Amino acid sequence: MSFINLDDLPYLTLAGFTLNTEEKAAIQSSLQVKKEQEKLEDIWLWGKILGVQRDYFIAQATKDNLFSRKFYYSIDLVNWLQLPDVPSSDIDRITQVHGRFTGDPAFEYSLGEEPEEGAEEKTINEEKRLSGTVALINYETEIVPRGAYYRDTLHQLQKNVNFSGIPKGELSQLTHYLHFREGFDINKRTLQERADAFDESIDIFETIANDEPKGVWSCQTERTGSVAILRSLLWPGYVFFHTANPPKWGSMYYGTGQRNLNIGFML
């Protein structure tokens, strides 16, 4: 999985993202309290969604199953509230809302559907929209370096403790970055892909090089080519970094929580 360790924030400053000293101190303190209160194995900052009136800080926590997560939000960096689970049917409804977040979790959005006679207008509150948006961003943007995870002989997902990072000369190649999400069928690999340095133990996710439209990811290197910075043009605000020396990676979302609906015209 991908998250940001607050000690690694200097890497994201290369992409123009940062937190001020007060925010960083408050996040470290309040997340530690939340971890102890709910007996979480660990909890990390996921990002910040900018609202019109107030902003939402988002944190994520996992257990043994790295795809089963809890997400929390905070407006004051003191209290962290768990985001509700949102069924797939509500995700479809959430994509109908395109405006900015207000910063009020109770705010009700009209879905623009013409209600049947005598029926109430269909709405969804901002808290659910926030939860669904985080899930969408995670599904479409969360990435990890190729080789950072593998499946063992029992087909269980494991973090590769021997991962030494992507070689410096190959950091800018999108084929080395994979979507960290469930549902990838390894049997759908083409014969050509299987012939091109295919490793069934680590090629367990889909490469972002296949994402459509082409050009939806930008990649540049910093610090004389030793750090890769990837940005999503589909979800402006998602930034990922990777460096091989030492082997580290992480990501953070810092934006308005709006998908780029004009991506097809830009590329």
Q: Is residue 26's pLDDT more than 70?
A: yes
H or E element: which one contains 95? Answer: none
Residue 187 pLDDT: 54
Point out the least confidently predicted range of 4-8, 91-95, 227-231, 263-267: 263-267
Predicted model pTM: 0.90
pLDDT tens-digit readout, 116-151: 655 566 889 999 999 999 999 999 999 999 999 998
pLDDT tens-digit readout, 83-96: 999 888 888 889 88
Tokens of 178: 């994979």
Distance CA(118)–CA(260), nearest Å, equals 36
pLDDT tens-digit readout, 167-179: 999 999 999 999 9
Task: Show Cβ contacts of residue 238 under 8 Å, excluding neighbours closer than 6 positions.
Answer: 47, 137, 141, 231, 232, 251, 252, 253, 255
Question: Average model confidence (pLDDT) for the chain?
Answer: 89
Is 238 in contact with 134 (CB distance < 8 Å)?
no
H or E element: which one contains 109? Answer: strand 108-110
Question: In 3-state terms, what secondary structure has residue 79?
Answer: coil
- Percentage above 70 pLDDT, the chain: 89
Residue 179 pLDDT: 95
- Percentage above 90 pLDDT, the chain: 64
Residue 194 pLDDT: 46
Question: In 3-state terms, what secondary structure has residue 4?
Answer: strand
Is 208 in contact with 179 (CB distance < 8 Å)?
yes
Q: Is residue 1's pLDDT more than 80?
A: no
The DSSP symbol for 42 reads -
H or E element: which one contains 61? Answer: strand 56-62
Question: Taking residues 4-18, what's their average pLDDT?
Answer: 89
Question: Taking residues 97-104, what's their average pLDDT?
Answer: 94
**CA-closest candidate to residue 162, choices 173, 151, 181, 148:** 148
The three-point CA angle 170-2-125 to 5° equals: 135
DSSP states of 129-160 as a string?
HHHHHHHHHHHHH-EEETTSEEE-TT--EEE-
Point out the least confidently predicted range of 8-22, 66-80, 136-150, 189-203: 189-203
Residue 188 pLDDT: 53
